[in-house]
Amino acid sequence: MFNHRLPKLKDVLSVYAVIATMLFAWSALLFFWYLPSWMHFMLIGEIAATFSYVIVASFLEGLSFLLFLLVLCFFLPPEYLRDEFAARGTALTLPIIGMIMIYFRITNENIARIIFSVTGLVISLVIVLLFYFLANNPRIKSALAALADRFTVFLYILIPIFVLSLLSIAVQNIF
């Protein structure tokens, strides 16, 4: 029933790979930024447990964003997003997650305030749409699809880490 509404599994995995890699990279970067301090505060087991919580949260966050894109696919006409989802999904993922990351690097109160204003919303929307329409260019489209396809390799690392993290949290809290 949903097959004609949802993209191909291979494309979904490619886009998820882009999302997960961006989010894991961000989380891991911050984790290693904090690590020297945590080594003085926490025992090794506590640090490992903290990492597990971070990884599981990051994984779920990625799934949530993917779900958002799939919901868009479901409701939009197929040619808008479902067709060539690998390229179009990547074209939406990169600016949205990228802009949120940039926002969190901003320390200037006034700029931060603008982002939450109508102006900020309009600027963000324009940037996202720009990416989206650029993805219609055949060369950019194939580049984005190829990029997403190459990111899939990271899932072979990320999914086992997620499963291990989830198991360690379950063991600690259930048994």
Partner 1 sequence: MKRFSRRDFLKTAAAFSAGSLLSMAPALRNLKAQSSKPNIIVMVFDAMSARNLSVYGYPRSTTPGLERIAERATVYHSHYSAGNFTTAGTASMLTGLYPWTHRGINLSGMVNKKHVDHNIFNLIGDEYHRTAFSQNYLADVLLGQFQSGLDNHIPAPTFYDQLEHPLFGQYFPRDPIPAYYGLDDYLFSGGIDRVGSVPSAPIFGFLNKLARRKQDFNKSLPDYPYGIPNNTFYSYKHEVVYAGVLDEIKNLASEQSPFLAYFHLFSPHEPYRPRKQFTDIFPELEIPFKAPTKFSTLDIDNDHILWRRKTYDEFVADVDSEIEKLVNALDEAGVLENTYLILTADHGELFERGEYGHVTRLLYDAVVHIPLLVIAPGQNSRVDVHHPTSNIDLLPTLLHIAGKTAATDLEGRILPGLGGSEESRSLYAMEAKECSAFGNLKDGATVSLIRGEHKLIYYTGYPKRPDTFELYNLKDDPDEMKDLSTLDTTTTAKMKEEMLDTFESNRKLK
**Alpha carbons 66 and 79: distance in angstroms, whole number:** 18
- Our finding on whether 3 is near partner 1 (CB under 8 A) is no
Q: Which of 2-10, 94-102, 139-147, 154-162 is the region at the interface with partner 1 (rule: CB under 8 A)?
A: 94-102
Considering only residues 24 to 63 of the shown chain, the ones binding partner 1 according to CB under 8 A are 26-27, 30-31, 34, 36-38, 40-43, 46-47, 49-54, 57-58, 61
Among positions 35, 71, 76, 100, the unique one binding partner 1 when judged by CB under 8 A: 100
DSSP label at 108?
A: -
The three-state DSSP-derived secondary structure of 111-163 is HHHHHCCHHHHHHHHHHHHHHHHHCCCHHHHHHHHHHHHHHHHHHHHHHHHHH
Q: Which is nearer to partner 1, 78 or 95 (CB)?
A: 95
**Alpha carbons 10 and 158: distance in angstroms, whole number:** 17
Among positions 1, 3, 79, 105, the unique one binding partner 1 when judged by CB under 8 A: 105
Q: Which is nearer to partner 1, 50 or 143 (CB)?
A: 50
Other CB atoms closer than 10 Å to residue 137's CB: what's the count?
12
Paired tokens of 141: 């489209």
Binding site for partner 1 (CB under 8 A): 23, 26-27, 30-31, 34, 36-38, 40-43, 46-47, 49-54, 57-58, 61, 64-65, 97, 100-101, 103-109, 112, 116, 169, 172-173
